[in-house]
Amino acid sequence: MQDRKTDVLVIGAGPAGSMTAKWAAKGGADVLLIEKRQEIGSPVRCGEGMSKDWLPEVGITPGRWINLEVEGARIFSPSEKVFEINEKHAGNEVGYVVERDGFDKQLAIDAANEGVEVKLKCAALGLLKDHGRVVGAKVKEFGETYEVHAPVTVGADGFESQVGRWAGIPTNIAMRDMDTCLQYRMANVDCDVRYCDFYLGKVAPGGYVWVFPKAEGLANVGIGVQVSQVKSPADARTHLDRWIDHHPGYAKGKKIDMVGGGVSISPPLKQTVADGILLVGDAARMIDPLTGGGIANGCIAGKICGQVAAEAVQAGDPSKEFFQKYEKGWRARLEEKLYRNWLAKEKLVSLSDETFDKVIDALAGVQLQKLSVHNILKAVRDKYPEVTKEFEAFL
Amino acid sequence: MPNKKSLHIESSGQLCIYCGACVGICPLNCIYLDETRITFDEKVCTRCEVCVKACPVGAIEIG
Ligand SMILES: Cc1cc2nc3c(=O)[nH]c(=O)nc-3n(C[C@H](O)[C@H](O)[C@H](O)COP(=O)(O)OP(=O)(O)OC[C@H]3O[C@@H](n4cnc5c(N)ncnc54)[C@H](O)[C@@H]3O)c2cc1C
Ligand code: SF4
Ligand code: SF4
């Protein structure tokens, strides 16, 4: 097949890639979006929970991909004391439960409607470089290999990202900075459609068990375990199966689907751009390290990424200096929270099950009008003064 | 490589669910996932066993 040219080449049509492509096209660039799978969004590797307040910011309108809207989250301590949090305060996985493949497809449709060319079964095999600058990629589409030349290339290739590594941008993650995840979709379970549930403590070392309801009786039941805390192979599966066995409302359920995957729970990367290349979404390790949610952050950064990509094309300057606009832009919007939540996660995984129980118990006992550090501390101090010190360090 | 342990990825689909967790964490970037085919570069792999821990279903064995 003949080599071809485009202004912006986006590798990977997940949420981050489609968003980037759409906003680059809106900015006037000629955009090619390539996806190695045959079907965008499938197979789904996701708990399918997302907050909703950010959708207008990036231009996504709610559609048929929404399964249901939850009121909030329930946090269960190791002895299953419960603390409820209103949806608004519950982090970036709580708000809607969605049909993730439908969501991903909708974003690709939005991109296509802006004039983006989309190619399926088209995998990037490596980057093209000219004097160290990235100038496109070698791709394989339906078995045929050719080159795509582009002044701007975007790596939106998800958790497994190769693009960043090919570009020489350090994206490696340590075992302590990754969760290994497994999830079943389960029918005939006693889930509560009003809540997304999170079970913390030893049930999921360094992570949590989640139950995100899809409909009455139907839920995504999954687990994330910090890789550095894995004791033996298949620990994620062993812990999830054990959790299900110990919960009669789920043990009676039937598994109808199984997915797995990796989630980065790292502090933000130091660098996400180089000459001719930008990284976005999971490829740039933008997942919230506390919640494990990555859809919102990928889309928010994707919008900025697409805008800057188009501007760079227009300015004829795809240099890493020009791309600082993206680097600064996404950091201004997301970095502080990513960093704060990474610190919180580091502390959280070090709390003992007993402390956990006490904290959740203290919080459960009071109606917190507002979820502020002050209010939380006060509740804990009033009921369990002995754990205040350990917990204070956490906040 | 006579003194290297053998690494085996059960990639026929009996265990492996093609989730990519091992691909993302391998520090040497030597595991490849192509839809439902997973392979690794025997020569580059250092048998660090990181992928073994990262696999949620225990499809990778080093022995
Ligand atoms: C089990 C699990 C549960 C999760 N649950 C949630 C949740 O409930 N809420 C939430 O917000 N987040 C969740 N996440 C995280 C969320 O799924 C990701 O953050 C999100 O998918 C990131 O989007 P992305 O566009 O960066 O990458 P992806 O969605 O991974 O998209 C990357 C795309 O690039 C393609 N690609 C890869 N390599 C190439 C190549 N060489 N050439 C061409 N195409 C390529 C892939 O096929 C893929 O389609 C979960 C993750 C896992 C693993
Ligand atoms: S053992 Fe280490 S180097 Fe070898 S494939 Fe696994 S993670 Fe990569
Ligand atoms: S982590 Fe395990 S299940 Fe996932 S792709 Fe690798 S070998 Fe297969």
Confidence of residue A394 (pLDDT cuts 50, 70, 90): low
**Mean pLDDT rounded to a whole number for chain B:** 85
Q: How far is the CA of B45 from the centre of ligand 2 (A)?
A: 5
CATH of residue B18's domain is 3.30.70.20
Q: Does the C-beta of B50 come closer than 6 Å to ligand 3?
A: no
Among B14, B18, B40, the mutation site with the greatest number of ligand 3 atoms within 8 A of its Cβ is: B18
Confidence of residue B1 (pLDDT cuts 50, 70, 90): very low
Residue B2: what pLDDT? 45
Tens-digit pLDDT profile for residues A216-231: 999 999 999 999 999 9
Residue A180: what pLDDT? 97
With H, G, I as helix, E, B as strand and everything else as coil, classify residue A137. Answer: strand
CATH architecture of A69-95+174-264: 2-Layer Sandwich (3.30)
Residue A38: what pLDDT? 94
Name chain B contacts of A36, Cβ cutoff 8 Å.
34-35
Q: Which two tokens stand for residue A197?
A: 């549930």
- For residue A393, pLDDT over 80 is answered with no
Give the range of the structural domain holding residue B47, as residue numbers without chain letter. 7-62
Of A263, A319, A260, A316, which Cα lies nearest the Cα of A288? Answer: A263
Average pLDDT over residues A359-380: 72
**Nearest ligand (C-alpha, residue A230):** 3
Each domain of chain A, given as residue ranges in start order, spans 4-46+101-173+268-336, 69-95+174-264, 346-391
**B1 within domain boundaries:** no
Number of structural domains in chain B:
1
With H, G, I as helix, E, B as strand and everything else as coil, classify residue A130. Answer: strand
Helices A385-394 and A373-383: angle between axes, nearest 10 degrees? 150
Q: At B21, phi and psi to the nearest 5?
A: -60, -40
**B2 within domain boundaries:** no
Average pLDDT over residues A240-263: 97
Q: Does the C-beta of A207 come closer than 6 Å to ligand 1?
A: no
Model confidence, pTM? 0.95
Confidence of residue A369 (pLDDT cuts 50, 70, 90): low
Least confident stretch, A176-185, A315-324, A386-395: A386-395
Q: What percent of chain A has pLDDT over 90?
A: 82
CATH architecture of A4-46+101-173+268-336: 3-Layer(bba) Sandwich (3.50)
Contact: A260, B21; criterion CB under 8 Å:
yes
Of A18, A23, A11, which Cα lies nearest the Cα of A306? Answer: A23
**B57 within domain boundaries:** yes
Contact: B56, A227; criterion CB under 8 Å:
no
A266 in contact with chain B, both atoms CB, cutoff 8 A:
no
**Alpha carbon distance A200, A167 (integer Å):** 38
- For residue A112, pLDDT over 70 is answered with yes
ipTM computed for the complex: 0.90
B21 in contact with chain A, both atoms CB, cutoff 8 A:
yes
**Alpha carbon distance A388, A380 (integer Å):** 6
Tens-digit pLDDT profile for residues A58-98: 999 999 999 999 999 999 999 998 988 888 877 888 999 99
Residue A371: what pLDDT? 62
**B24 within domain boundaries:** yes
Alpha helix positions (H), chain A:
15-26, 55-58, 100-113, 163-166, 235-245, 248-251, 295-315, 324-330, 336-348, 353-365, 373-383, 385-394
The atom number, within ligand 2, closest to the CA of B50 reads 7
Closest CA of chain B from A161, distance in Å = 7
- For residue B23, pLDDT over 90 is answered with yes
